[in-house]
A and B are shown apart, each in its own frame.
Chain A
Amino acid sequence: MLKSFFKYFFMVIITMFVFFPIVWLVSTSFKNPVDMFAVPPIFVPANPSFDHYATLFFEAGIVKYILNSVIVAVSTTLLSLVAGTLAAYSLARFRLPYRMNERLSFWVLSTRMFPPIVTIIPLFAMMRFFHLLNTRMGLVIAYTAFNLPFVVWMMRGFFMEIPEELEEAAMVDGDSRMSAFRRIILPIAKPGLVATSIFTLILSWNEFLFALILSQTRSAATLPIGVASTVTQYEIKWGEMSAAGVIAVVRVLIFAFVVQKHLVRGMSFGAIKG
């Protein structure tokens, strides 16, 4: 009894702690400038205003940012998943000489060990050389490069959980290695595939640093940049910033809610033997 009281007590505390910024963000996005800085703070504005949202959509052209974000995130996810899944399968299954499987896998992971910012200047130079600055393609390439290790490691883990005998059975039954992979292994690894793509999608959706450096103009800039652009030289447009933030968060929230089932399944992967 006391134990469960404490359990719920802490859960409530933590939930409040996590939720507070989001609640504040949402409430700020509906406040007029006077309420915004009121002391004591107002949590639920008396007469909510939609001005900030209107400004974003009709003046600041946030639609373009959203579009860029969607295109970049989706392309990145598709690209990293196709390349990463195939690489992961090879690393999980084929025996390379000199324990190269382990070494290669570790090397793939090691590219995630340094902070991304140290690569930004060479990356910028390369992108400029290939005329990929301020293009969505440039962002997709950069994001894919940084998401691949993650995809490879996640998927390699999932594939290693699947007994090798399943493909062997399929190959004896008449499949080639590739069709056994497509018809037997991929369907079994689906929860893992879904979970990995969700993480990749969220990661590229929220990415800020690369986007800031590689896409300055509106032709490629993503939503986080759009949000940040409300911080101008002269003032911080709190209201618009909050509204843009809400738009960015809400999409991820809805998305996460929809795919929650897969996320949990993907996490508890491994009970498929037999």
Chain B
Amino acid sequence: MQTEIKANMKNVTKRFGEVVAVNNISLDIKEGEFLVLLGPSGSGKTTLLRLLAGLEELTEGDIYIEDTLVNNLPPRHRNIAMVFQNYALYPHMSVFENLAYPLKIRKRSKEEIAKRVREVAEVLEISELFKRRPKQISGGQKQRVALGRAMIRKANLFLMDEPLSNLDAKLRVQMRAELRRLQKSMGTTTVYVTHDQAEAMTLADRVAVLNNGVVQQLDSPEEVYFHPVNRFVAGFVGSPQMNFFAGSYEEAKIKTDYFEYPLPPEVVKKLEKKGKVEKIYFGIRPEDVTVSKIEIEGAYNARIYVSELMGAESFVFFTIGNSVERFLSRTSPDFRGNMDESIWVSFKEDKIHIFDYDTDAAII
């Protein structure tokens, strides 16, 4: 089956007075996909979602849903469903009435409403809650009811704004898995906003990483993680964060304040192709930093700042050379180090990242 475009944004800009919340964004949303908008606070994720929903007016650009220009269409004519961060359940209605509301507005028959509500409630396992008010149910249950209210009708687009952020960590992981299964089994096109990169990685078919109202990268989670297009994406996706070293490129080597790193020939070839490259950032993810207590050929001498046993893994913070800055290695829990102990660190050759110093764009 050919992938169809469900919705489409063309050069969309939204300004609030002086603030540019969304800056000239163009993106396609494919039929049946789970698209995650990922970005730090204030990057314009919510605004983008609200523009899609019609809750915010465009400053510039066009939005199409199912090939219809919806720029001036109020939310009710866009046939979209939305789950809000605080659930926005109607406090004066029972769970049943909340679920039934979208159908009631559409003047469906009583029998049809009851049937549909029961179906949805069964899927979400909230049938016992029908008579309760939103105040009388738990956060996780509210979450399900909000989801159910969105699922009750066949909407073109599902929009979710950080729907899991009010749940505790355990429930969040559980709901995350359920969301994913639900979305796949129903094939609903979903746009999901989050600032939690773990959520983005696990849920998304594609991730759009936003910063300052601009899409930095739109790719599969793997691509975004392993081949970030710039230093922002590299730093934002992945927890704990990627290590960065400022330095320069000279004669097939990366020179930083703390070490010299000889580059493999393929990388050198690529760099030479780019033309003149001087100042750069060298990036390496914590899991690609190996640590050892015995000296290894080509490894750098470092000093443990602190070592934390996380259970399944160990975080080793270290200083290298005379650095004040601390860097991190994520290694096996068998590695136990003491404060100020001398160790040797090395970087996995095929996992290094090099970014342009001035533009932050990825070179490798």
Flag if A173 contacts B102 (CB, 8 Å): yes
State the Cβ distance, A43 to closest chain B Cβ, in Å. 49
| Residue on A nearest B92 in the bound complex, by CB | A187
Partner of A171, one of B75, B87, B92: B75
Flag if A174 contacts B91 (CB, 8 Å): no
> Given A175-B105, A274-B134, do A169 and B84 touch, yes or no (CB 8 Å)?
yes
Q: With a CB–CB cut-off of 8 A, which chain B residues contact A177?
A: 74
A166-B74 Cα distance, complex, nearest whole Å: 16
Instruction: Jot down 20 A-B pairs with beta carbons below 8 A, ordered by A.
Output: A163-B88, A165-B84, A165-B86, A166-B88, A168-B53, A168-B84, A169-B82, A169-B88, A170-B101, A171-B74, A172-B53, A172-B55, A172-B76, A173-B76, A173-B81, A173-B149, A176-B74, A184-B92, A272-B91, A274-B142
A168-B81 Cα distance, complex, nearest whole Å: 11
Q: With a CB–CB cut-off of 8 A, which chain B residues contact A173?
A: 76, 81, 101-102, 105, 149
The dominant DSSP class at the A interface is helix
A232-B81 Cα distance, complex, nearest whole Å: 71
Q: With a CB–CB cut-off of 8 A, which chain B residues contact A168?
A: 53, 55, 75, 82, 84, 88
Q: What are the interface flags for B344-360 relative to A under an 8 Å C-beta threshold, 1 for contact and 0 otherwise?
A: 00000000000000000
A21-B88 Cα distance, complex, nearest whole Å: 50
Interface flag for A252 (CB, 8 Å): no
Interface flag for B106 (CB, 8 Å): yes
- Please tell me the size bucket of the interface on B: 20 to 34
| Residue on B nearest A171 in the bound complex, by CB | B75
Interface flag for A188 (CB, 8 Å): yes
State the Cβ distance, B94 to closest chain A Cβ, in Å. 13
A151-B149 Cα distance, complex, nearest whole Å: 34
Interface residues of B (CB under 8 A from A): 53, 55, 74-76, 80-82, 84-92, 101-102, 105-106, 134-135, 142, 149
Flag if B106 contacts A172 (CB, 8 Å): no
State the Cβ distance, A172 to closest chain B Cβ, in Å. 5
Q: With a CB–CB cut-off of 8 A, which chain A residues contact B102?
A: 173-174
A209-B55 Cα distance, complex, nearest whole Å: 48
Q: With a CB–CB cut-off of 8 A, which chain A residues contact B91?
A: 166, 188, 272-274
Flag if B90 contacts A184 (CB, 8 Å): yes
Flag if A163 contacts B74 (CB, 8 Å): no
State the Cβ distance, A178 to closest chain B Cβ, in Å. 11
Q: With a CB–CB cut-off of 8 A, which chain B residues contact A169?
A: 82, 84, 88, 90, 149
Flag if B82 contacts A172 (CB, 8 Å): yes
Flag if A174 contacts B76 (CB, 8 Å): yes
Q: With a CB–CB cut-off of 8 A, which chain A residues contact B135?
A: 274
Q: With a CB–CB cut-off of 8 A, which chain A residues contact B90?
A: 166, 169-170, 184, 188
A188-B80 Cα distance, complex, nearest whole Å: 25
A30-B90 Cα distance, complex, nearest whole Å: 53
| Residue on B nearest A187 in the bound complex, by CB | B92
Flag if A174 contacts B55 (CB, 8 Å): no
Flag if B81 contacts A188 (CB, 8 Å): no
Q: A168-B84, A176-B74, A273-B91 provided; 13 other pairs, C-beta below 8 A? A: A163-B86, A165-B86, A168-B88, A169-B84, A171-B74, A172-B80, A173-B101, A173-B105, A174-B102, A188-B91, A188-B92, A274-B89, A274-B134
